[in-house]
Structure 1
Amino acid sequence: MNISKTTIRITLAGLVLAASATVGAVTTQSFVLDTADVFLEGELEGAAVHSDGSVRAGAATQRTALENVPLAYSVAQRGSKTFIGTGTNGVVYEFDGKHAKVFAETGELLVASLAFGRDGALYAGTLPNGRIYRIDTKSGKMKRFSSPKGAKHIWALHYDQRRGELVAGTGPEGKVFTVDSIGRAREIYKAEASHIMALAGDGKGTIYAGTSDDALVLRIGPNNEAQVVHDFPGNEVTAIDYHDGRLAVAANEFKTTPGARFKPAVSGTAPAGRRAARPRPGSGELWRVDADGRAEMLVSRKDTHLTAVQWGTDGAIYAGSGHEGRILRVEPDASYSIWVDVEERQVLALNLRAKNPSFVTGDGAAIYRVQPGARRGGTWTSKALDASFASKWGRLTWRGRGHIVLQTRSGNTQTPGETWSAWSKNLKQPGAVTSPPGRFIQVRAKLPKGHSAVLRAVELFYLPQNQRARVSDVQGTRPPPKRGEPARQPLPPTTLLNLNWKVTKPDSDTLRYRIDYREEGQMTWREMFGEDTNLTDAKYTWNTGSIPDGHYVVRIEASDELSNPGRLTLRSSAVSEPIRVDNHPPRIEHLKVRRGRVQGRVVDDMGPVARIQLSIDATPWRDVFPTDSLLDSRSEGFDLPVGDLPRGAHIVAVRAFDASGNQANREITVKTGR
């Protein structure tokens, strides 16, 4: 099946629409799509996204699925035939360019590596029993060839021409073996790491090995002496490739060990069609090591690890990814593009220098043949762009080169589906969007045949529907004490009330507030201030000194008139619970001293009386209780002993407070005859 019939999705984790307009007032806004990260959030079909923020025609591929096979893990080609190592039933498939068929069944869990020997036979490295099988490429006849001592995983196989032997990278003891023509394995190096994940060679007896646990690349010379080429970041060198004196290296950081996702079934054989485990989550870096030992990091990806690397015949490096099924093409200057994107989640092995270039995938096994020449035409489709609210679409413009045509479709669900509009007619030059109003919209760009067309930027204008702000929780409270001022009870009197309210703004309009009030028993609202006051903060200090005491209801109105023209202005309002206003002090009535007792009554129009205090001859004030011992009403009587006073004149002072902190003072002079 041709890849052009398959929808290919890109969703790069952690990347966001970099230039999506901030939701704001009812004014024209736009989506600006002009970076590689933004383009990569969309879907690619035969198109390539470059690191310079452009979209161009990509490689043409042809897909052949391996039905009911979870993953294709290794690949090797000889002549017109390509062989594919798979899991989780350890089957080797033969592919003739059109059809794939079972060629050999190892009975193992996974064929992790394939290599051709000097005799022309195909050798298959497997796990979890650490066996190497020899397969005749004509008849398919298979036999167990070698079982290197201590090995459970044959991660990599490489045939070295000068040595005339197979080289095997193994785990979990981190050993490198050579295997002679009759299957005798000889250990030539043991690493401190647990696994040798990758092998490459220069054809002259020097072997390069990548390790897991410590992410080293080792150089093992013809005399089997080992040196460290470079210690890479991360904890695994998953793939290496040697070409013309240079190495390409995939260094990854994983949270799990290499063999953790390949567990044999209890019976020892995985059931048919068993689904592979999800790929190990990780991050990856692509490095180049020159002949003089200089190591240079070319690409770093936090959203995916790298599964395979290979030098191309054109000097570029190709790297397969393990998260979204992509192949990166990296130029010598470290610029790169998403060269191929496929529907499977993992690209696990590359064979791009072969006569018939190909690669294989996991999380749904398939083999892809890369077609020579340019693609007939590629397509890039944006992700669903969210205007946040129902919107009217405006003009669609773009920058680029070549005969590019664009289309749009819109809807009101985040995931495009049947309820969305159909794709619009082709726009061959910038113009008005004809898709119906909605919250979400997609843009699709069609690139013509050849490599000349380049899409560099897309901008789509829109007008969002205005949204009403909502006011709630209107409160009136006394100003807090000033810094450093001790707390007092009751609080000191004040005519000021701090009005506060909550407001919910779906958009970022600037709001203007108007405040009205009325006594709770009245129906007429009165303005708190005139139109010349432009209040935009959700708070206001109300001076109540000019209004009678009582309980008042406050109404707050929010209007977005400052951000929207009159016909589009929206308003909302909310009222408070009754707020107490008490600015007048209580009265001390009928104050007298009789038979050694101070008597009187404290009366407050609003009530309740909060505190009564007594002082004789300027002694410190002391709290006293009313006659009923409770301060709970607007009128409280008191009858207090003055105690034994020496002969002469004495000043008896009483003061009282109401609940608002208003204070009344009164005193009388009394003479004693003793």
Structure 2
Amino acid sequence: MQGSKVQARCWVVAAVGGFLATSVWAASSQIWKNRTRSEREQGDLKGISLAGDGTLTLGPAFETLATAADPYLWSLARDSRGTIYAGGGNDGKVYRLGKDKKLELYFDSPELEVHALALDSKDNLYVGTSPRGKIYRVTPAGKSQEFFAPEETYIWALLFDGKGNLYAGTGTQGRIYRITPAGKGEVFLDTEETHIRVMALAPDGNLLAGTDGKGLVLKVDGEGKSQVLANAPLPEVTALVTGEGGKIYFAAAGQGQARAPQRPQPQVSAPRPAPAPGGEEERVPGQPPQENQPPQQPPQQPQQPAAPAGPPGAGVESKILCLERDGYAREIWGQAGELILSLALDREGSVIAGGGVDGKIYRVDPVRTDATLVHKADSLQISGLLKEPDGSLLAVGSNLGAVFRLGGKVGSEGTYQSAAFDARVFSSWGNLAWRGETPPGTSVRAQTRTGNTAEPDSSWSEWSAPVERREGGITHSPSARFIQWRATLRSSDGKASPRLGEVSVTYLQRNLPPEIKSLEVQAPGVVFQKPNKSSSTAAPGEGAGSAGRGDRDRSSHRGSQQPRPQSDKEGRAAQWGASDPNGDDLTYSVYYRAADEKEWKLMEKDLTDPFFSWDATSMADGTYLLRVVAEDTPSNPEGSALSTDRLSDPFDVDNNPPSISPIRAAVSGSSARLEFEVADTFSNVGEVIYSANAREWEVATPVDGITDSPKEDYRIDLTKLAAGEVTVVVKATDSAGNSATTKTVLQVGASR
């Protein structure tokens, strides 16, 4: 009796490289965790299955049986003796798989493509060719002849019923033909669809067909009457297979957003006679003759890829649905960016799906409605699947033309190689850990390698010695910016598989100094305030506990908020943009000095937000500079922190208004002349205006005609003054916006 199965759950921790105890390394280590499906889909799987929760296991045994000289293999068939045939393109050839695992040419058709193969009870092989739509019969002795020519463009599917009749699904007129063993054919079903893409036999002997156009699943009885079983959410049914209990599984594909599946009303269609060879083809009811129709596009098939405009599979979507016996079609899995081309059922009743983007093979659980990526083939498209008597599956691939076997047993070995991880800066690597299960007879070993290029190349280090023991082991990977891990999973008996969950790598970044990318002093009269906070302004040198503008908020760097500007005619503010390559928290110190001074004076320290406001009236008129120092002290121990600084552009502080000299006035009759001088101690004189008896302001022009210096002389001539007392007010403004006013009172004519 076999012993009970023991599953060991473990954390395996292995030192990858000792952290360097020097001040150039950051204080806080970080952990890179790799565990989700989306993360692991970026890596490279060989013989590994990827579950929906990101768990890695050994996939089914996967074997490349043979490769073809042709780039595309689209169809598969097996005769009663177990001989395997594969058809493809671009030369319309059919190959036979020999015992030496080599594909030997069995039939060379005059056409370009072979999308369909079928075998009768006598092992005669029937070959459906395109794009001139002919069917050939090849005897077991290798003799071939044209069997039926329906004058269609594409032969997509071939299928025998229990009476020996051959059915052919065609395009671009969406017809199904029934051909007797004698080679006499008729149109069995004429639809309004473009292509009959796939066919299968229902358990009751009726014919099932999937279309391209509206994405219909049809059931056709022996009289050629059809019923729509399902209207797929995407326009093309690309694969169809029957399951236990009368269930039908089908894949639909197309571009853009899928529509909801519909349960359509039954539609009935009767058979029609086949068109006479060389005669005029009858048009599809309700549509114009073929020559007046827009060009028809063939359905989804692997072709030589053009230069990609985006990531593989961009804009494509596939869904797999289960059609229940009661007629309800439920989606069991869907994937944007994937093109499902083939379906089969494994021995457990799960759906095996072949992808057409990068050679992925999925196992879809129809009950849990999730998918496991079981293998990734060397071919870019898995064009066809065929179930073997022993429960294994055969697959044909395109872009590389090949035949594969997906075995019923677990593979003996598989490897997963992660995508490279970017630590952003040069780092030292610490512990490698993994979570998982290793049943008896299975094992997991992990390795790492590092480098300083985003994509691993010859400059990267060698793979480290594997960590194989359950309790872990020591390995070494050099310090670098990028790291990659690789896991090898093994099974000795092909029955059980290890399970690899989360993998984590601890690392310590080299400490790099902060960066201050910008520093801007705001215009006079603008200060900053945090949302819902009081103004954070202070005079130079005021401490954090000072009242008024000294009440600063010292919230953490991670929680810093964008400042809100507000007006304060006595205030000034500065704002800067700072970051840290290590992601460290930062604190800031602000210094100032006048342009004619040498030493910096501290205004404030330990700021956590990248802005600062202060009272500009505490500074004498003059030209100044600010210096902001950023430090990563909060995230590093004393002696290990780094800093950087940045200087502002020179800015002016002008707190004092200009002065206006006493006005000298000379009155003559109803006229008067006023003369005065305006001077400023720091900036140029700005606008000077005057008003007589509170009338509208008028602009005064300097005697020399231009305002361009800190001192200007003015002469104002007033005329047509009314007799009596006239009050003249003069207002002078400097270039900083400071203003001063004065007045003089004139006596014009006789006093009242």
Give 1:178 shift.
0.8
Give 1:607's aligned amino acid.
S
> 1:469 and 2:514 equivalent?
yes
User: In 1, distance between residues paired with 2:457 and 2:713?
Assistant: 78
Alignment of 1:448-459 (within 5 A): 448-449=490-491, 450=494, 451-459=496-504
1:446 to 471, 488, 496: 488
Give 1:145 shift.
1.4
Give 2:373's aligned amino acid.
I
Give 1:176 shift.
0.9
TM-score by length of structure 1 reads 0.88
Give 1:153's aligned amino acid.
Y
2:701 to 625, 629, 644: 625
Paired residues of 2:116 and 2:156 also in contact (CA < 8 A): yes
Alignment of 1:554-565 (within 5 A): 554-565=626-637
User: Which position in structure 2 is the counterpart of 1:416?
Assistant: 456
Give 1:125's aligned amino acid.
G
User: In 1, distance between residues paired with 2:379 and 2:393?
Assistant: 18
Tell me: CA distance 1:436–1:85, structure 2 relative to 1, closer, same or farther (3 Å). Answer: same
Alignment of 1:31-50 (within 5 A): 31-50=32-51
SS at match of 1:37: helix
> 1:292 and 2:345 equivalent?
no
User: In 1, distance between residues paired with 2:112 and 2:703?
Assistant: 94
Could you report, residue by residue, the CA deviation over 1:261-314 in whole angstroms, capped at 9, with x for unpaired residues? 889xxxxxxxxxx95768986211111222332322111111211010012233
User: Which position in structure 1 is the counterpart of 2:564?
Assistant: none
User: Which position in structure 2 is the counterpart of 1:122?
Assistant: 125
User: In 2, distance between residues paired with 1:615 and 1:70?
Assistant: 93
Give me the identity figure in percent: 30
User: Which position in structure 2 is the counterpart of 1:307?
Assistant: 341
Give 1:26 shift.
5.3
User: In 2, distance between residues paired with 1:586 and 1:302?
Assistant: 71
User: Which position in structure 1 is the counterpart of 2:14?
Assistant: none
User: Which position in structure 1 is the counterpart of 2:9?
Assistant: none
User: Which position in structure 2 is the counterpart of 1:400?
Assistant: 436
- The range that moved more, 110-119 or 44-53, is 44-53
Paired residues of 1:111 and 1:125 also in contact (CA < 8 A): yes
1:494 to 551, 569, 579: 569
User: In 1, distance between residues paired with 2:608 and 2:167?
Assistant: 76
> 1:87 and 2:122 equivalent?
no
CA RMSD of aligned residues (A): 2.5
Give 1:189's aligned amino acid.
L
Give 1:183 shift.
2.2
Paired residues of 1:220 and 1:227 also in contact (CA < 8 A): yes
User: In 2, distance between residues paired with 1:28 and 1:182?
Assistant: 78
Give 1:612 shift.
0.5
Give 1:447's aligned amino acid.
L
User: In 1, distance between residues paired with 2:51 and 2:517?
Assistant: 50
SS at match of 1:567: coil
Tell me: CA distance 1:332–1:495, structure 2 relative to 1, closer, same or farther (3 Å). Answer: closer
Structure 2: segments with no counterpart, 5+ residues = 1-24, 257-294, 528-566
Give 1:250 shift.
0.8
User: In 2, distance between residues paired with 1:668 and 1:454?
Assistant: 97
- The range that moved more, 605-614 or 498-507, is 498-507
SS at match of 2:720: coil
Alignment of 1:360-375 (within 5 A): 360-371=396-407, 373-375=409-411
SS at match of 1:416: coil
Tell me: CA distance 1:224–1:480, structure 2 relative to 1, closer, same or farther (3 Å). Answer: farther
Give 1:624's aligned amino acid.
A
SS at match of 1:585: coil
User: Which position in structure 2 is the counterpart of 1:14?
Assistant: none
Give 1:479 shift.
5.4
User: Which position in structure 2 is the counterpart of 1:59?
Assistant: 60
Tell me: CA distance 1:258–1:465, structure 2 relative to 1, closer, same or farther (3 Å). Answer: farther
1:145 to 144, 147, 153: 147
User: Which position in structure 2 is the counterpart of 1:4?
Assistant: none
Paired residues of 1:125 and 1:132 also in contact (CA < 8 A): yes
Paired residues of 1:651 and 1:669 also in contact (CA < 8 A): yes
Tell me: CA distance 1:130–1:354, structure 2 relative to 1, closer, same or farther (3 Å). Answer: farther
Tell me: CA distance 1:308–1:631, structure 2 relative to 1, closer, same or farther (3 Å). Answer: same
Alignment of 1:189-588 (within 5 A): 189-202=189-202, 204-244=204-244, 245-254=246-255, 259=298, 282-333=316-367, 334-354=369-389, 357-371=393-407, 373-402=409-438, 403-427=443-467, 428-429=469-470, 430=472, 434-449=476-491, 450=494, 451-478=496-523, 494-529=569-604, 531=605, 534-588=606-660
Tell me: CA distance 1:27–1:258, structure 2 relative to 1, closer, same or farther (3 Å). Answer: farther
Paired residues of 2:136 and 2:145 also in contact (CA < 8 A): yes
User: Which position in structure 2 is the counterpart of 1:673?
Assistant: 749
Tell me: CA distance 1:33–1:504, structure 2 relative to 1, closer, same or farther (3 Å). Answer: closer
Give 1:359 shift.
0.7
Paired residues of 1:254 and 1:280 also in contact (CA < 8 A): no
Give 1:381 shift.
1.7
SS at match of 1:405: strand
Paired residues of 1:70 and 1:276 also in contact (CA < 8 A): no
Paired residues of 1:61 and 1:368 also in contact (CA < 8 A): yes
Paired residues of 1:25 and 1:508 also in contact (CA < 8 A): no
The number of equivalent residue pairs is 627
TM-score by length of structure 2 reads 0.79
Paired residues of 2:415 and 2:487 also in contact (CA < 8 A): yes
SS at match of 1:661: coil
User: In 2, distance between residues paired with 1:41 and 1:309?
Assistant: 24
Give 1:426's aligned amino acid.
P
SS at match of 1:404: strand
Paired residues of 2:212 and 2:299 also in contact (CA < 8 A): no
Give 2:728's aligned amino acid.
V
- The range that moved more, 38-47 or 125-134, is 38-47
> 1:607 and 2:683 equivalent?
yes
Tell me: CA distance 1:641–1:289, structure 2 relative to 1, closer, same or farther (3 Å). Answer: same
Give 1:354 shift.
4.2
Give 2:214's aligned amino acid.
D
Give 1:174 shift.
0.7
